[in-house]
Amino acid sequence: KRRRLRALRKLVAGDSGGEPAIVSARTKQSPQLLEQLRREAEEASARTEELRILQSELDAAQSSDAMRFFCRVVASPDRAAAVGELGMYLGEWKEPKVEPLLRRQRELLDRNDGAAAAEDAQAREEMARIAQDIAELDFSVESFWAEYELLRPGEDGDCSRADASACWQSLLNAGHPFQLLHGRPLQIAGKFLRGVLEAIGAPRSDPRGIYVISVIGAQSSAKSTLLNFLFGCGFEVSAGRCTKGLFASYLRPAMGGPSMLILDSEGLLSLGSEGSVFDGQIALMCMTCSHLVLVNHKGELSRQLQDLLEVCLFAMRHLRLARVQPRLAFVLRDQHDRSKAVHEDMLKQMKNHLEDVARTLGSPLQDLILLDSTAVFLLPSAVTSELRGGQEVCWTSELFAREVLNLRREVFRWLREDSERRRNSGPSEFNSLATWYDYSATVWDTLDQFGEQLLHYRTIHEIELRRELADVAKSAVRVALDGAGGDGGEADGSETGFHARARRMVDSFVARMNASPTRLDLETTDLELSRALACLRDEFVARLEQDFQARASSPRFSATAKEQAKQQIRTPIEWAFENHLYTWKLHLKKATDERAMHELWMHFTGVLNRHLASSGHRSCLSEEESHELFEGEWRSYEASYRERLRTLIKEWPTLAHEVTLLFNHAVGKLQHEAGALALLKEVGPQQLALHQGRGREHGHTTVLEQTDEEWSEQYFYFGWWNTVKMRGLALLQNAGAAEAAGGASGVLRSNIIPRIRQAVQQGLTQSRTDIVARGSLDEATAAESLRHIASVLLNDIELRLLGDGSVSLKRPQMLHALHVALRVTCVEALVAVEEEKQRKAMEDLFAQKALIEEHFLLIVQANKGDFDTARHFAALYHRSLKHWMDHEVTQLAADVRSQVLQEMPDPQKSSERAFQQSFAAHSWRDVLEYVLDMNAYLEKLYLTIFHQRKRAYVSAAQSRVEKRILGAYRLLIEVVGQWARRETSNSPRSTLPADVVKGPAAPAAQKSIKDLKDFITAHAERVPRNAETAEAHRQLAERLPTTADFNIADPKLFAETLQATLGDFADSPELPQRLPGKL
């Protein structure tokens, strides 16, 4: 249950960094994606529920009979001896039960070599059951202590918490080993052990601190035996794996030296371990938590051991875990020829190699570890055996005891040297067992969370090859996206990148769509472009894979590394495909909205025309009836518009998946860069989903939402306040020192954390502002944001804010918290962008509603005359022509920018030009600017030239555009006058008297607005005088506003009113002010 709880907590926290499937812009609200999101939500809910059930079962669990017996042993008078006796009985009790299982396991392994498939499957099932049974029997007294902490038994009278703590304290004081890392996967012992360690160290606080010695080495290399001989420890010894996790023994030398903590680690390079990551975690745990690390090795120094130390140095450099600078000493076992010269030469070669590795990492070797070229000790075999009377007799040789004694003297010599060095440099690193426990718990938590991504490498050479391969992949992707020459390429597209060809494809379809949107089937065009763009994507993916294979053909790159890189290079093409497809969707939405607006006007004009036809253009509706008719028609359209808009607006889960995809791909690239970027790890979208609409009441908070207490616990090493207090005591040396130190800690808590919080807030706010202003998030922005938090923000926290506070930052934890907060900020910014898009779309819709309603009520609410309808028609025409003016201004701005950039001076000669304008011209003001900041001076010259040439082009181009737009207005006034004269001449007023027999003559047919529109369209089809007149005629015909076909009683009055109103618009200051403002 405990193991399952730990795995579930990781899943619920979102530590699975698997990349989600790419969310297609075309199908981002499709049923398949919604079903995928629903399944992920259900799985997350199921994990959370299982976590809750397991926790409740664990809380309600009762002690077993064996546990109650252990409690009675702990409460007995001679409890320390009783617990030791219980451990012996447990070993004797397990042996007859484990031996048959091991014997059966060996039989199955021997039989499995030539077994049939069916028998092989049965044997595997039986072996799995045997392994489970062996694991069930793998417990000791340490297992009882761990279960005691979890279940907290003994409150019913078997034993009290104080009795258990006193028992364990007496055992540890006597040097009894205790298990610090236990379980699978390994986890640190809990707070009960910490309380015992704190009770041990409280009455015996030593200013010299505690000296920590650890041993690492391969499995079955007699590490526990070495420690038992060196320091008189009681670590268990046996063949195979006798130490699981990390054991410790607390010793106090009788001669008055500093207290020592001896660490016995699990064997490395074993078949039963979890691999190289596990070996690196164990080795790094010992190296970062010890003053002296004994590297126990059978045989000579090996390349495998050197590779392990390389990766540990790499992880130490990036994790910055080491509070101490460990000293490494190599103990070579079972050496018959103990000539130290050969082995010292090997150690010197290893040291030189590690120094080269450290220089590659950007740090001297002596800043990471202490490695003496002579720190190698040769030990003979610990046990000697021979046949006596036909039986094998074993004993410890006197030679081994003598050599171990020499090694012990050397260890204590190092202890004295390090004590003197620490005494001169400041207080000790670990002044109590509780302080060391807090630090080691933090180290293991960091290794557990972030060690895997740093320790899965085998050597530094492999790391460098991975970085080189990543650079090869980057260059291949860059060529595939941007072309061989950047954004340019050949005219036939053979060397053009995906971006350029996709842009041309989208632009061509947009041009086709804008040319005749009313006669174009938009859905067919959408499908055609989607298929064409997908074919282009597949073409470039295949080309990219071929290019990558050619670039990575060197045999230095392993097949596994190339395959992993090959799987990642497809993602940028996929993301570029989605970006271009989404760009097309935006154009399609605009065209669809314009068409929908046109259909909306056509729909309402149809309603008006039917009303006018049924009423004979005579009757009118009341105000209430008019509003009721309009609102009924409007509600149906608004519902369909909102539904279409909802399919295009991205929701939080979709944006979380997109942000996860972008950042995970950026993390995969940045991990190969130096510095803190190697600590970045991929995060699943479920961790972002935890922050959607949830706060502290659900337990999901970002770094800015956490309290100061949570900051001090999660992002600073345990016991850092104690360090501050201790330094305050050393400085003040008086009775009030404790109070002063407490005040110092309060000042730090009130100053440092708020300052860090403010810096983080400013950085995240700036990222949010940039994304909202840009309106989108791309991979380059994500990578730059990660570089900012890792290089700028994190370094600013460590150097500027923590430099004077003697505070140790949990660097990986803080970086991960900033990473998650940055992702959440990006999602929130994109949600704000989507909400702004939706708000703008609805504003445009309701703006159209106001215009349509005005036109609708004008026609049906009352019998308006030609004067009112002409003014309204002129306002609609003016609004349509303003859109044409905006389009002209946009085209003009692009032309001016392109023209100016083409005529700008050669950038490669900018430095020479700057020198000529400053030093050569003896312009001392320019010389001063050049010397202070050459880049700023070059930028100033560039912008000066740019704006000078821009003004020259803009002034002339603005006059041409203004003349063209005003010419269109004058042309429209002229065309309206021609139509009025034609209609007046075709229908002259009758002056003959009425025939009294036949009655009055039939009235002439009334004209309508459709006649005027047809006249303007037909006038545009005539042969124009010049190209400008042809363009003006075409725009007047295309920009005709959609209106109801209302009657015109007096064409002359209508035309005169229309001409006067259009003339007022043309002569008003609106156009001269709008044009330069838009430009």
C-alpha angle 184-188-194 in degrees, rounded to nearest 5: 150
**Cβ of 732: how many Cβ atoms within 10 Å?**
15
Contacts of 1007 (CB under 8 A, 6+ apart): 983, 1047, 1048, 1051
Q: Which two tokens stand for residue 90?
A: 């447990």
What average pLDDT does the segment 15-44 reach?
A: 52
pLDDT (0 to 100) of residue 212: 92
d(CA 633, CA 604): 8
pLDDT (0 to 100) of residue 579: 77
Least confident of 36-40, 269-273, 485-489, 1031-1035: 485-489
pLDDT bucket at 489, cuts 50 / 70 / 90: very low
pLDDT bucket at 724, cuts 50 / 70 / 90: very low
User: Residue 28 pLDDT > 80, yes or no?
Assistant: no
Q: Which two tokens stand for residue 877?
A: 């025409």
pLDDT (0 to 100) of residue 249: 92
User: Residue 844 pLDDT > 70, yes or no?
Assistant: yes
**Cβ of 51: how many Cβ atoms within 10 Å?**
17
What sections of 649-676 are H helices per DSSP? 652-670
What average pLDDT does the segment 488-515 reach?
A: 73
Amino acid at 357: V
User: Residue 466 pLDDT > 50, yes or no?
Assistant: yes
pLDDT (0 to 100) of residue 248: 92
Sign, CA torsion 728/729/733/736: positive
Q: 619-628 pLDDT, tens per residue? A: 556 667 777 7
In terms of pLDDT, which residue wins out, 739 or 837? 837
Buried b (16+ CB within 10 A) or exposed e, 119-151: eeeebeeeeeebeebeeeeeebbbebbbbbeee
Q: 286-333 pLDDT, tens per residue? A: 888 898 999 988 877 878 888 888 878 887 777 776 667 888 999 988
Q: 335-387 pLDDT, tens per residue? A: 877 777 888 888 888 888 888 888 877 788 888 888 888 888 888 888 777 78
d(CA 564, CA 890): 46
- Name residue, tokens 């698997």: 18
- Name residue, tokens 């803009």: 954
What average pLDDT does the segment 480-495 reach?
A: 59
User: Residue 205 pLDDT > 60, yes or no?
Assistant: no
User: Residue 411 pLDDT > 50, yes or no?
Assistant: yes
What helix, strand, coil percent values describe the chain, rounded to 5? 70, 5, 25
User: Residue 54 pLDDT > 80, yes or no?
Assistant: yes
Least confident of 596-610, 628-642, 669-683, 1025-1039: 596-610
Q: How far is CA 371 from CA 213, 216, 367, in A?
A: 15, 15, 11
Most confident of 61-75, 509-523, 589-603: 61-75
Element (H, E) at 743: helix 737-774
**Cβ of 209: how many Cβ atoms within 10 Å?**
21
Least confident of 166-180, 473-487, 506-520: 506-520
What average pLDDT does the segment 267-278 reach?
A: 72
Q: Which two tokens stand for residue 606?
A: 């149809």
Q: 1038-1074 pLDDT, tens per residue? A: 788 877 677 788 888 888 998 899 888 888 888 777 7
pLDDT (0 to 100) of residue 829: 92
- Name residue, tokens 């992949």: 473
What burial class does residue 702 get, using C-beta atoms within 10 Å of its C-beta: 0-12 exposed, 13-18 middle, 19+ buried? middle
Buried b (16+ CB within 10 A) or exposed e, 869-893: bbbbbbbbbbebbbebbeebbeebe
The DSSP-derived string for 985-1033 is HHSPPP-SPPBTTTBSPPPPPPEEHHHHHHHHHHHHTSPPSSHHHHHHH
User: Residue 989 pLDDT > 50, yes or no?
Assistant: yes
Q: Which two tokens stand for residue 965?
A: 């737009």
Closest CA to 483 of 415, 563, 427, 547: 547
pLDDT (0 to 100) of residue 15: 45
What average pLDDT does the segment 985-1006 reach?
A: 54
Q: At what angle do helices 398-425 and 223-231 cross, to 10 degrees?
A: 80
Q: With the CA atoms of 1031, 1037, 1038 and 1039 taken in that order, what torsion angle do they form, in degrees rounded to the nearest 10?
A: 100
What average pLDDT does the segment 195-201 reach?
A: 84
- Name residue, tokens 């910014």: 829
Q: Is the model's pTM score more than 0.75?
A: no
d(CA 908, CA 536): 36
Mean pLDDT of the chain: 77
Least confident of 395-409, 517-531, 642-656: 517-531
SS (H, E, C) 869-937: HHHHHHHHHHHHHHHHHHHHHHHHHHHHHHHHHHCCCCHHHHHHHHHHHHHHCCCHHHHHHHHHCHHHH
Are residues 253 and 288 in contact, defined by beta-carbon separation less than 8 angstroms? no
User: Residue 173 pLDDT > 60, yes or no?
Assistant: yes
pLDDT (0 to 100) of residue 213: 93
pLDDT bucket at 1005, cuts 50 / 70 / 90: low
pLDDT bucket at 1027, cuts 50 / 70 / 90: confident
